[in-house]
Structures are given as structure tokens and as C-alpha cells.
Structure 1
Amino acid sequence: MRSPARTAWSALALSAAFLLAGCGNQADLAKVTHPRTVVPAKVAQKPQPNTPPRPVEPAFASERLRAVDPCQLMDTPTLSQFGVPATSRMVALADCANYMKDGSGKRLSITLRLGQNVTLLDTAKTTKVGGLTTVESTSTTTCFVKSITQEGSSVIGIVAQVDYEGDSCDVGRRLNETVINRIRTNPPLRAQDNKGTLTVVDPCTVFPAVTATELVGGTPSLYPSDMYRCTWRRDSLAFGIEFNDATDPKDSSLNKKAQVVTIDGITGYQRKEDSYNASCRIEWLHKATTGGRGEVVTVNFDNNKKGVEVDVCAKATTVVKALLPKLPKP
């Protein structure tokens, strides 16, 4: 069965557009309000097909953001302005979370994501945070503050997701401003001795273009979803590559019924689905980290056209075979 956490990825891959540690007594954040500057004349640009992705400033180029440690951006001095931090922990290769309390003991959950896809609605109004064009959206007590770092064929940014019964958007804006300024001036970098890590790899450029063409029978369109997810699509066929920090696939409950496959020396866990569209997913552990987790690679191949027979698992296997030699050796 397809992972619920990534169902949205498969759906987006087949669409045409894509779419949380401290000291001292802190004031109740619900009583603190920081005005935002609305900039109606500056509208964030939507994805522009066939336009090369470009960083809004050199400091925010994806290759530089990949070198930044997101949890060091979520350190005690930064989060203490909001209350009493817990321990920040990685929840994806570029995502860090902290489940803390504000100064009054209220629950305050913050997740920081570097280089994430930013969806822009026609009704979106923009603000300026740390000098970057920023889009906000809310859902009940959760606010997403998305500061755009790259425009062009894909729009990605620094995203603060804040779940809080106080002013969650204010927390998000203040966090993003701190993060943006640190990345510009003195970004905290990942450990340089992490041999074989996927954190330095761009999935969109590492995969051979000629193989992509062979897989879908023509030149596919390329859709970068964020720094570690990429999809190629042509007509009804699409395949995607994702690098993640996750549970070792052999221990994942989602793989209890998966077929264990050996492909060029790696042990993969293959799952096929035919309920919505013909889809095959293969994932494997690239590099173990700690606590039963590691850097995990996931490959999907989808056929969205009924009545057209495509061996999606054979196609997914071809993707794996072409990708493996391009990955660093752990």
C-alpha cells in the first residue's frame, strides 16, 4: 500500500502544475504582536515553465542551502525568544522540528523546512520578511510562513510551519527573519565528515537525461518539488526520486507486505498499486544514521492512463539501476 505520507507526492507528480533548547521567564506570545508590511505591488511569481530556476540571492542557491544544518538554525538562542525550547530534531533531510512550550506553558510546535516547494494562489498577498518576498497561509491554529528563495520553473523557499494557539504567524515571521539573516551572514553548516551523505546531491541533475527520455518515450518535463524531490513527466507517464531522513525501510510498517528485491547490490522494498493508477514504489536504505533511521531513497513510477499496459515495476527498476552509480558511496 502506498505510504500515506507521500500520497500527495504521487498526486502532484501527475498534475500539470504541481503543486518545531532555553532559560528565563518569557512573556505570553499571544500578547505580542509584530505588524507585517504588506506589499501589494510585489506579487510572488508563480512557476514559469521553461525558465531555469534561479535563486533570488546567491546565498539562497540550492547548493548552498543543502550545506546548511536546519537544526542548528533551530538552536536554543533562536527558539528562546518564543518560550522554552525542547530538543530540535531532524524530521527530513532539510527539515527540523521542535515541540516546545511558550512562556505561559502553552504548546508551541515549530517545523523549519529549507528549500521546500511553495504553492502560490491567485489570491495570495505577499509580505516582506528578512527582505524576501513571503507568502502566508493558515489552517486553524497552524500558520505557514513561506519566504521565497528561488523563482523560475520551480518556486521554493524557507518555510516555517507553526502550530500554536497564540499568534502562530507572528512566530513564523520572526523565526524566518532570524533564519534568513543567519543564512546570509554566517550559516551553520552540516558536518563535513559525513561520508556518502545524500544531503549534497541534487536528485534533479544526478539522473541521466538520456535514461529519462528512454523511460517515457520522449523528452519529459522536469518538476523539482524541493531540494530532495524531483519528478519527470510526459503525458500519462511519470517517475520521481526522493531522498529523505526516515525509518529504515526494512522496519517500516508500510513495508510489511512489500516484495523484497535485490537490484545491483542493494536490498529494496517494492510495492505496487493499481487502485488509482498503476504505480510502483521501490525504496532502500542508502546510509544508516541513528535510532533505526537513515538516509532513504524512494523511486516511484506511475502510469495514469487506463487501458495502456506499462510494467511500472520494471520501469521503476530501470530508474534504480540508472540512479545507483550516480549516488555517493556511504
Structure 2
Amino acid sequence: MSDGVATVHLVRSPARTVWTAIALSGAFLLAGCGSQADLAKVNHPRTVVPAKVVQKPQPNTPPRPVEPVFAPERLRAVDPCALMDTQTLSAFGVPASSRAVALSDCGNYMKDGAGKRLSITLRLGQNVLISDTAKTTKLAGLTTVESTSTTTCFVKSVVQEGSVVLGIVAQVDYEGDSCDVGRRLNESAINRIRTNAPLRPQGNKGSLTSVDPCAIFSPVTATEVLGGTPSMTPYDLYRCNWRRDSLSFGIEFAENTDPKNSSANKKAEVVTIEGVTAYQRKDDSFGNSCKIEWLHKATTDGKGEVATVSVDNTKKGVDIDLCAKATTVAKALVPKLPKP
């Protein structure tokens, strides 16, 4: 499931970038056995705020958390499935096992008390765009907007403003009152992060979950790849993009299928980057691009933490070896990543 209106991802054209829209998810639970938020169904008083007060993306304004506790580096440390425990979700029915579906996401595909399907995903640090016509509310003190698509409701609470707007997003697919479920879950997650954020388990050696892709990469190498002084833009918690004129490159960390088993890599060239086996492929369906990806750390079921480097050129008629540039980025990146 995805919310094309609310999710801002890198797109192609002068608006084109390294990635297309993807669905992310993130969830949390109070570490240990601390107090649980009351999720019994109640009618939440909400005050409608005119759309003009919403902090929309402001290109010349550095990103800033609305509260220090929601800073990206702090959100990366939160266990994305900790809030999706049985005790919390029992308020909505009969939970299944919660599972991570991305580095900062967690989902549970459960049933309500009457046996109807109820799919819940809680996303942490997702890009959010609030349209001019959106009606916003305040949920747990945060600017929040809801949108629906058939039986799915997205409850998006803004935790970062400025040039990149991020939010905590509850996504609920349910034939009942999906927005009520999303609202209650989002409110609980926000308050728990404020009071006693559940941290990821210790001992996850070499994980990319703690890595900021923008901070780990050298500006000197960015200039080497693109020339001049590239502009840098963070996206979500685990994607970053550098651009200069028609050229751009991006770094993404994700939980995904092992690249060697990915159908997209059937015709990819196998390359070695700083001792790591990687898969390189060109794509000219929307212009010119080259992507290199590799398995950083295996998890379960043929999946793992995957690092991806993509280089794009939107200007036609210019002969540039994009794979050579992608290789330069990957070679600079691999040694800086934590050792699994």
C-alpha cells in the first residue's frame, strides 16, 4: 500500500531523482514493561487548522525537528516494531506477529474482534507532503492530516519541518473505521517516543539502522562525482541525494531481497566493490541512470540490509559514464559502513 499524495520521494525529471515512490513503515513500543497508553476507543476532540499554517517544504530552510525527541538521529535508534506488541494491538482485535517491513517500519496483519482483516503499518520518519486543500488537525500536539483511499486511511503527523518534511505515519487498511485505528495508534506512538522511546536491541552488530546516509558521505567525493558544489537533500531516514544541474546521485539503505536473488538483477553485471560483491545495472527507460546495490547484512528469509547507489543524468545527448561515477560513490561508501 502506498499514499502517492502524501509521500514525497525522489522522482525523475528536473523533478526526477534516484528513486520512485515506495511504501515505508515504522512502529514503536515502550521499552521494557513501562506504562501503556490507553487505546480504548474514545472520541478524540480535534481542532481543524487552516491549511495555510502547515509548514510545507521550504527549500532554503534547513530541516528541523518540531521537538528534539523527533530528531532523525533519535528516531533511527527507536525499535520500529516495539510499539506493535500484542498488548497494544489487542485494543483493536486479535494481533498476529508484528514484523519489520523496512529499516524504520513495522507491520501487523491481524483481525479485528469480529474476525475481519485489519492491516496496520506504522511508519517512522516518512516524507510527507500536505496539499493546499488538506485540512489539518492537532494530534498529541503535532500537526496531523488524514487521507483515505478506499478502505485505507493514512494518519500523518509532522515531526520535522523545513526543506524536508517528515512524519510519523499510521497506515491502516480495514473495512471498519480505519482512521480511528490509525489516529489512536499514532497518538500512542508519539507519546511513547516523547516519554520513554523504545530503543533497538543491543548487539545488532554492523547494522545500517544507525547510519545517516547524508552524514557518512564525504562532500569532497560528492564534488569529485558531480563537480562544483552539489546540493544535498535528505529523504526519509535512510536516503540522501546530491545534485548539480542535470547530474545527481543518491544513497539508500533498505531492508530488501538479497540483490543476487532480485529479479531486477537478472541481467545485472556482477562487480566487486572494495571486496564486496555488488550488482550493477543501467536503466534508460526514463533517461540515463546506473545503479549499484549490494547486500550489507543478511537478516532472514532471503532478505537483508541492502545498500544502493544510483547515479542519474536528465540531460539528453550528453555522453557520461554514469556507472563509473556510481562506482566512485560505492568505493567511497563501502569502507565507511559498519562491519557486519
TM-score by length of structure 1 reads: 0.90
Q: Does 1:132 align with 2:174?
A: no
Cα contact 2:287–2:316 (8 A) shared by 1: yes
Match of 1:216 among 208, 215, 226: 226
User: AA paired with 2:279?
Assistant: Y
Q: What corresponds to 1:76 in structure 2?
A: 86
Question: Which residue identity is paired with 2:288?
Answer: A
Contact between 1:13 and 1:240, CA under 8 Å: does it hold in 2? no
| Alpha-carbon offset, residue 11 of structure 1 | 2.1
Residue type at the aligned position of 1:306: K
1:265 aligned residue: 275
Shift of 1:43: 2.4
Contact 1:13-1:238 within 8 A present in 2 as well: no
Whichever residue aligns with residue 313 of structure 1, its letter is C
The aligned residue for residue 245 of structure 1 is 255
CA contact (8 A) 1:14 1:233 kept: no
Unaligned regions of 5+ residues in structure 2, if any? 1-7, 26-40
> Is the 1:286–1:294 Cα contact (8 Å) retained in structure 2?
yes
In the other structure, the counterpart of 1:23 is: none
Cα deviation per residue 1:217-249 (whole Å; 9 max; x = unaligned)? 222222211000111122211111110111111
The answer as to 2:5 corresponding to 1:15 is no
State whether residues 146 and 156 of structure 2, in contact with CA within 8 Å, keep that contact through their aligned partners in structure 1: yes
Judge conservation of contact 1:132–1:148 (CA < 8 Å) in 2.
yes
**Are the equivalent residues in 1 in contact too, given 2:12–2:286 (CA < 8 A)?**
no
Cα distance 1:193–1:265, how it changes in 2: closer, same or farther (>3 A)? same
Q: Which has the larger helix fraction?
A: 1
Q: What's the counterpart of residue 296 of structure 1?
A: 306
CA RMSD of aligned residues (A): 2.2
Number of residue pairs the alignment of both structures matches: 314
* Paired amino acid for 1:170: D
- Code of the residue aligned with 2:124 in structure 1: it is L
Distance 1:214 1:147, change over 3 A: same
Q: More displaced, 214-223 or 181-190? A: 214-223
| Alpha carbons 1:43, 1:126 under 8 Å: kept | no
C-alpha deviation, 1:279, in angstroms: 0.8
2:36 is matched with none
Match 1:176 to one of 176, 186, 192: 186
Q: Is the 8 A contact 2:254 2:307 kept in 1?
A: yes
Q: Conserved in 2, the CA contact under 8 Å of 1:112 and 1:159?
A: yes
Unaligned runs of 5+ residues in structure 1 are 1-7, 21-30
CA contact (8 A) 1:279 1:302 kept: yes
Shift, 1:40, TM fit: 2.5
SS of the aligned residue for 1:232 comes to strand
User: Quick one: which amino acid aligns to residue 11 of structure 1?
Assistant: V
Counterpart selection for 1:146 from 156, 161, 176: 156
Q: CA deviation at 1:290?
A: 1.9
Counterpart residue type for residue 213 of structure 1: T
The amino acid of 1:280's aligned partner reads: C
Q: In 2, distance between residues paired with 1:101 and 1:36?
A: 27
User: In the alignment, residue 205 of structure 2 is paired with which amino acid?
Assistant: K
Normalized against structure 2, the TM-score is what?
0.87
Encode CA deviations 1:87-141: one digit per residue, 9 max, x unaligned: 1111100011111111111111111111111112111221111111112222111
Identity percentage of aligned residues = 75
Matched, 1:202 2:212: yes
Say whether 1:109 aligns with 2:119. Answer: yes
Q: Does 1:159 align with 2:169?
A: yes
Tell me: CA distance 1:119–1:37, structure 2 relative to 1, closer, same or farther (3 Å): same
CA distance in 1, matches of 2:246, 2:208: 29
From 102, 109, 113, the equivalent of 1:99 is 109
Q: 1:53 to 1:10 in 2, by over 3 A?
A: closer
What secondary structure does 1:163 align onto?
strand
SS of aligned partner of 2:332: helix
